[in-house]
Amino acid sequence: MIREQPTVVSLDGDVDFASRKGVREKLLGAVGPGRPLLLVDLSGCGAVDSEGLAALLSVAQAIHERGGVMKFCSPSPFVERLFHVTRLGLVFEVHRDRRTALESF
């Protein structure tokens, strides 16, 4: 079986109200034409707030509309709590580390 290879993007700055446009552009710009497969590595990101999560959700929805898949890996404990209280951890597929996430595609 040949496994499809997702595009991996590491978010390294803040993911919040101030940076939401740049985050959207970075993620949507990273996937090529065709069916997008995207893995977002959160290990290095700075401050995250609900507007940042909203930007991630809007990207996930755009990718889903194109028949693609977007997953996450390596959230900090704080980002895990934010996924938890917003219930977005139930909507997004979030993996503990990058290896596990890559194997899931």
Partner 1 sequence: MSPFDPRRGSARVWVPASAAFLSPLRIFLERSLEAWLGEALVRSATEELLVAVQEAVTNVIRHAYRNGPGIVEVALDLEERGEEAEVCVRDTGRPFDPASVEPPDFAHPTPGGYGLHVMRCFADRCEFGRDGRTNWVRLTRRVRAASEIRAETT
Binding residues (CB under 8 A) for partner 1: these are 14, 16-18, 47-51, 53-55, 57-58, 61, 77-78, 81-82, 85-88, 90-91
Nearer to partner 1, 54 or 102 (CB): 54
Chain centroid, CA 71 distance in Å: 5
Phi, psi dihedral angles at 46 (to 5 degrees): -90, -130
Contact 71, 39 (CB under 8 A): yes
Nearer to partner 1, 14 or 102 (CB): 14
Nearer to partner 1, 51 or 104 (CB): 51
Tell me how crowded residue 90 is: count the other CB atoms within 10 A of its CB: 10
CB of 22: closest distance to partner 1 in angstroms?
11
Query: Which residue type, as a one-letter code, is found at position 35?
Result: R
